[in-house]
Amino acid sequence: MSNLEIEVSLIKEKTESNSKEIEILKNKQEKNEEVLNSLDKSLSITIEQIKNIAEDLKTTSINFKEAVTRSNNANSKETEVLKEKYNELEKKYEKLDSKLEQETVLKDAENWRNSKKQIISWCITVALAILATVLGISKFM
């Protein structure tokens, strides 16, 4: 074989080797493109899901804020109703307290009058007993 044939043979081998490598690289490139396309689709879906979740969270947050506001308003109204009831009860208590005080004052005054009458009658009885003793009524007995 001549040098030219050897060189041609080497070139053919090199060409075949390069063709195989090119084919392998093309396959790898196609696989990489498939993987990138798959990743791109997955990322697009994930981003869309994240957007949906963010919207849901925003809606939930708004609803929660409204619920808290409604609850606070209801609590405020309930507090006002309780304050009114407390004021009514306070007025009733004051009326009952004044009635009780009046009744107590009247009873104390009546008790004082009765006690005064009894003390005066005892004093008169004692005075009459002393007078009777002094005058000698005991002789008539």
pLDDT digits (tens, 9 = 90+) for 32-58: 899 999 888 989 999 999 999 999 999
Boundaries of domain holding 80: 3-140
Q: Tell me the whole-structure pTM to 2 decimals.
A: 0.44
d(CA 118, CA 110): 12
Domain count, the chain: 1
Residues whose CB falls within 8 Å of the CB of residue 1, separated by 6 or more in sequence, listed in order: 9
Does the pLDDT at position 1 exceed 80? no
d(CA 70, CA 63): 10
Residue-wise pLDDT tens digits, 106-124: 887 788 888 888 988 898 9
- For residue 137, what pLDDT is reported? 60
